[in-house]
Amino acid sequence: MVSPIEPINGKYKGKDIISLDQFSPKDISILFKKTVGMLLIAKNARPSDLLKGNIVTLIFYEPSSRTFGSFVAAVKQLGGSTVEILDPEHFSSVSKGESLEDTIRVFEAYCDVIVLRHPKKGATLKAAQAAGFVPVINAGDGIGEHPTQALLDLYTIYERTKKLDNLIGVLAGDMLNGRTIHSLIRGLSKFNGNKLYLLSPKELRLSREDLSSHMESGKLELVEIESEKDIPKNADFWYWTRVQKERFKSESAYEKVKNRFVLDNKLIKERAGKNTIFMHPLPRVGEILPEVDKNPNAVYLRSEIRNGMYIRMALLALILGKSK
């Protein structure tokens, strides 16, 4: 839409959602308040017509289960409808060579919001610049960001700990390619006193550029670690991620680093606190053992999933200017 990385600054209506950098703590709190209302609508199966007459187009160039499913469900919970373009490289004019910009200009004529997932970092920003009159939501742009995932992650942390400052967190897995990690770090850097331990093989550390820009922001303390032995015992949350296989040049390079760090009951016993919560954006591919699922602090297959729908309901309502 207008200026793609415009800060939210208390006003969601009509804004593109591209990066967590757009959000202040106040903006996050506005969203969370709205999310509580959405939770009541969804949990009680209360009919809502908040988005009645609105159409949301989802264009997903990459596979998705949760982001796609929860956005579609969010629209339907609020009485709106969706246009769904999955795999546009095969099932749209993209297969004939149509550019991303033209694709966006076409679909914006049919709807009120576009939700876009794309394999290239920066593509959703480009799409937002191409869109003339509807907002674009980044549903994951390559190894760039995944803002709606980070918002639901922050909500899940807040729900359990009642705060978003002075937290100690452990992020494990693929710091280099994990877009959910990139957005979550940006989100947590808005608040005071947060300290994050980044556990990854050397090859998968945050890019030096990202690391120094986070360090310069001043508020966040980042500590890179390479062994489970360095996990602090008093963490509020552990956020595990999968090594992003699709971003590797070769199978053998992936095989070398996959599942270096596995979350199992033994590790929990050795290093977790009584209230440490266990998070994962999913899908998991072996880096959290199923034995952990029953742990009451394992939220990845529970509230983290449901919160994804509530947060997206709230975000859509705010962007479309539906205040009730």
Closest by CA to 59, choosing from 117, 127, 12, 10, is 117
Q: Which of 15, 34, 118, 146 is catalytic?
A: 146
Residue 117 contacts residue 60 (beta carbons within 8 Å): yes
Tell me if residue 260 is catalytic: no
Q: Which residues pair with 137 in a beta bridge?
A: 17, 115
Asked if 309 interacts with ligand NCD (CB under 6 A), we say no
Asked if 149 interacts with ligand NCD (CB under 6 A), we say yes
Tell me if residue 186 is catalytic: no
User: Residue type at 115?
Assistant: V
CB of 105 to ligand NCD, least distance (A): 26
Asked if 243 interacts with ligand NCD (CB under 6 A), we say no
Q: Which residues pair with 217 in a beta bridge?
A: none
d(C-alpha 250, C-alpha 153), whole Å: 31
Q: Which stretch binds ligand NCD (CB under 6 A): 102-110, 241-249, 271-279, 288-296?
A: 241-249
86-120: b (≥16 Cβ within 10 Å) or e: bebeeebebeeeeebeebbeebbeebbbbbbbbee
Query: By Cβ distance, which residue is nearest to ligand NCD?
Result: 281
Closer residue to ligand NCD in complex, CB, 135/173: 173
Tell me if residue 205 is catalytic: no
CB of 49 to ligand NCD, least distance (A): 28
How many residues contact ligand NCD, by CB under 6 A? Answer: 12
Half-sphere exposure at residue 303, Cβ-oriented, CA atoms within 13 angstroms:
17
Tell me if residue 120 is catalytic: no
Contact positions with ligand NCD (CB under 6 A) in 59-88: 66-67
Tell me if residue 312 is catalytic: no
Out of 4, 88, 140, 187, the only residue in the binding site for ligand NCD (CB under 6 A) is: 140
Which residues, in sequence order, are CB contacts of 309 under 8 Å at separation 6+?
A: 42, 70, 73, 74, 77
Q: How would DSSP label each residue in 190-216?
A: TSTT-EEEEE--GGGSPPHHHHHHHHH
Out of 128, 282, 288, 316, the only residue in the binding site for ligand NCD (CB under 6 A) is: 282
Q: For binding to ligand NCD (CB under 6 A), which residues are involved?
A: 66-67, 140, 146, 149, 179-180, 241-242, 244, 281-282
Active site residues: 66-67, 96, 117, 146
